[in-house]
């Protein structure tokens, strides 16, 4: 129709507008998809995103692949939550077959949960090929002065300890100053397992320093015992004999003295056990020995409870070997009969 009048022109315009609106509705999704920025996708349909499949479920759908092949793919291409879940499973299974893939994962992932899971797995399977990564974590902690959440750093310290990486001792000494107590505590513990005379002398100086953190002193005491520092015996003896010393420090000093095994500390140990008789049974179970502790029936429950932890630590420490050499009872076993405060022997 060729428009002639004004009314016909308006009618034609309305018809064209309706046709344009209809075409817009039909073509709009395609048009929008074309103008979206690179890498951005239109909103997917409600069911477009599949649910997360477990490794076993994925393997069931791909029978031509082994479980380990699927697991390697998950480590390489899975989302962080899937990777962390898989690392937990591998750690529990202690399956060392994927060690190389996990080390490669450490080099690629920036997610701290993934890094922690990877180090825990490598520690569990005794794969020590990631020491440089763990060392970098510790060095970065010191150099950047970070003192926040320390779970990953504690895991890295435990990995370094398991790897017996004595090269990390200088950085572990610096981490003793970390404001996160868990990090500082783990650093002291690691020094006790990896250190030598130099570290023992440094820890002993810290123990004597009145300004040193009281929260760390118990672990310093245990580390001195692990290092078998005979130079620490006088200070440890002083702590154990001092009734005003912190109870935890006294118990740990008793254990440390036992690990050091210096005969000079025996009188102090005997005094700490003055309310009981300790019997050495060297033929207890398949060649294993044990200490049998006999309590005087007259001992008050309160006193027994107060000394229980000290006694337990003494019992489990190396001091048992020294106690065994002090005498034999009539039954052929070894025993140490101790006196109470009045000098009476305890039966």
Task: Determine, yes or no, domain membership for 25.
Answer: no
What pLDDT score does 240 carry? Answer: 83
Residue appearing with tokens 């990090």: 183
Cα of 207 vs its chain's centroid, Å:
24
Task: Determine, yes or no, domain membership for 113.
Answer: yes
Domain that holds residue 88: 62-127
3-state secondary structure the chain: CCCCCHHHHHHHHHHHHHHHHHHHHHHHHHHHHHHCCCCCCCCCCCCCCCCCCCHHHHHHHCCCCCHHHHHHHHHHHCCHHHHHHHHHHHHHHCCHHHHHHHHHHHHHCCCHHHHHHHHHHHHHCCCCCCHHHHHHHHHHHHHCCCCCCCHHHHHHHHHHHHCCCHHHHHHHHHHCCCCCHHHHHHHHHHHHHHCCHHHHHHHHHHHHCCCCCCCCHHHHHHHHHHCCCHHHHHHHHHHHHCCCCCHHHHHHHHHHHHHHCCHHHHHHHHHHCCCEEEEEEEEEECCEEEEEEEECCCCCHHHHHHHHHHHHHHHHCCHHHHHHCCCECCCCCEEECCECCCCCECC
Task: Determine, yes or no, domain membership for 94.
Answer: yes
Nearest to 71 by CA among 93, 90, 52, 51: 90
Nearest to 258 by CA among 317, 213, 311: 317
Separation of alpha carbons 288 and 333, rounded Å: 13
Cα of 172 vs its chain's centroid, Å:
15
Provide the token pair at 29.
């999704």
Q: How many CA atoms lie within 13 A of 326 on its CB side?
A: 18
Phi/psi of residue 54, nearest 5 degrees? -75, 165
* Domains of the chain: total: 1
Task: Say if residues 280 and 314 touch (Cβ distance below 8 Å).
Answer: no
Cα of 251 vs its chain's centroid, Å:
24
Task: Determine, yes or no, domain membership for 83.
Answer: yes
Separation of alpha carbons 70 and 98, rounded Å: 11
Task: Determine, yes or no, domain membership for 105.
Answer: yes
Task: Determine, yes or no, domain membership for 48.
Answer: no
Task: Say if residues 166 and 129 touch (Cβ distance below 8 Å).
Answer: no
What pLDDT score does 32 carry? Answer: 44
Task: Determine, yes or no, domain membership for 132.
Answer: no
Mean pLDDT by groups of 10 residues along the chain of 347 residues: 59 68 55 47 44 52 76 93 95 93 94 96 96 95 81 96 95 94 96 95 95 94 93 91 82 81 70 57 54 56 52 47 42 38 40
Task: Determine, yes or no, domain membership for 147.
Answer: no
Nearest to 130 by CA among 166, 105, 153: 105
Angle at CA of residue 295, ends 292 and 297, nearest 5°: 145
What pLDDT score does 45 carry? Answer: 43
């Amino acid at each position: 129709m060729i428009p002639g009048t004004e009314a016909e022109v308006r009618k034609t315009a309305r018809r064209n507008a309706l046709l344009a609106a209809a075409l817009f509705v039909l073509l709009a999704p395609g048009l929008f998809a074309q103008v979206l920025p690179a890498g951005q996708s239109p909103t997917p349909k409600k069911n477009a995103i599949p649910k997360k499949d477990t490794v076993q479920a994925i393997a069931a759908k791909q029978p031509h692949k082994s479980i380990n092949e699927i697991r390697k793919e998950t480590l390489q291409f899975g989302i962080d939550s899937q990777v962390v879940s898989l690392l937990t499973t591998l750690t529990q299974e202690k399956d060392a077959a994927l060690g190389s893939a996990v080390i490669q994962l450490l080099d690629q992932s920036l997610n701290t949960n993934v890094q922690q899971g990877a180090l825990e797995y490598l520690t569990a399977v005794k794969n020590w090929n990631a020491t440089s990564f763990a060392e970098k974590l510790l060095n970065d902690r010191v150099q950047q002065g970070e003192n926040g959440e320390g779970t990953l750093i504690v895991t890295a310290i435990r990995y370094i300890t398991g790897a017996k990486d004595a090269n990390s001792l200088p950085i572990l000494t610096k981490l003793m100053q970390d404001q996160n107590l868990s990090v500082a505590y783990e650093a002291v513990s690691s020094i006790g397992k990896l250190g030598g005379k130099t570290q023992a002398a440094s820890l002993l100086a810290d123990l004597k320093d009145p300004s040193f953190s009281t929260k760390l002193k118990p672990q310093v005491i245990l580390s001195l015992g692990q290092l078998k520092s005979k130079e620490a015996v006088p200070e440890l003896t002083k702590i154990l004999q001092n009734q005003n010393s912190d109870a935890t420090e006294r118990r740990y000093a008793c254990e440390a003295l036992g690990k050091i095994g210096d005969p000079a500390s025996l009188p102090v140990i005997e005094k700490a056990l003055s309310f009981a008789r300790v019997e050495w049974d060297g033929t207890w179970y398949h060649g294993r020995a044990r200490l049998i502790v006999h309590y005087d029936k007259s001992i008050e429950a309160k006193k027994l409870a107060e000394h229980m932890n000290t006694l337990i630590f003494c019992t489990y420490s190396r001091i048992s070997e020294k106690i065994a050499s002090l005498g034999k009872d009539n039954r052929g076993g070894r025993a140490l009969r101790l006196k109470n405060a009045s000098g009476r022997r305890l039966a």
